[in-house]
Amino acid sequence: MTTPAADGFRMPAEWAPHARCWMAWPVRAETFIHGLAPARAAYAEVAKAIAQFEPVTMVCPEGEVAEVSLACGKDVAVMPLPISDSWLRDNGPSFVVNAAGDVAGVHWQFNAWGRNYEDFQPDTEVARHILERLKLPRYAAPLVMEGGSFHVDGEGTLLTTEECLLNPNRNPHLGRAEIERHLRDHLGVSQIIWLGRGYEQDETDGHIDEIACFVRPGVVLAMTTDDPADPNYPVFQDNLERLSMARDAAGRELEIVTLRTPARLEHNGVRLTLSYTNFYMANGGIVMPVFEDPADDEAIRTFKKLFPERQIVPVPALDIVRGGGGIHCITQQQPAGRG
């Protein structure tokens, strides 16, 4: 069976032009212990913020189209599909493009982050449904993966973590070399940078979008803490050291920009992954999370310096994070192109 890379496809960077942003409506009450209402309000605010810059489609169950349309407004399209949860970054397609501008999608296998819950079967087919609706080619990848577990620079470099991709609850039959081969085959990358672990108590087992991301070629934004007593301190220090020693696919040393984590918050005894790297890069805009914390102001200033050509839109994200993710986790960009 052919692969995207063999057919000339690669995954573009998130700063490449988008045709659309995809999201999925919160439907799983067990995910949001504070209730679906505040989560849905937060998702709607993210959708409306992104819709200022590019088209947005919100996927939802058939019976909730009217409610979603009312909550999100006329600028957000609604597509009825069977879903069981609302993290489209992870179970939606990862879009790839070729030199001619054709767009296709990679359909990863999905097992609810190592079977964190069992009623996930509808989400295993979300990528296929979306690609069929778009009439785009679909590459079925022989790998359990989530879109939040990797980040690319569009020039051949991929960031990920050992904690997630090498976790036996995903692909216990595959070693590092085999997983790297699948990443190269399906995302068109040539250089893979492995960080160690992710955010403390992150139920995704160390998704990269909670701790680090490319903001342009050769530049990585990474979370850090200056509190040696924080369990994240040695983890983040190790990741910074790995980044400082890494080279991208072009052979460049990486410029590393850091942001401090907000003060620790817990929900039902579990630490919330309060991360500023979990943002969405829209056409001409940055929709970033804020957490009612003094560190928000520093993060906003940093984003304005990093993205002087883009409008910075802070959106309160605590009601999203309480469900286990952030703004990047609930969004998936579809690159511009033919199809």
Q: Tell me the C-alpha distance between 301 and 304, whole Å.
A: 5
User: Is 164 an annotated catalytic residue?
Assistant: no
Q: Which residues contact 59 (CB under 8 A, 6 or more apart)?
A: 22, 23, 24, 25, 79, 80, 81, 83, 88, 126, 130
Calpha distance 315→47 (Å, rounded): 10
User: Exactly one of 21, 72, 164, 329 is catalytic; which is it?
Assistant: 329
For the four alpha carbons of 270, 274, 278 and 281, in that order, the dihedral sign comes to positive
Phi then psi for residue 237, to 5 deg, are -65, -45
Contact, 333 vs 339, CB < 8 A? no
Q: 156: closest CA among 284, 250, 89?
A: 250
| In the block, residue with structure tokens 């002087």 | 308
**In the numeric block, which tokens belong to residue 164?**
């997630």
Catalytic residues: 329
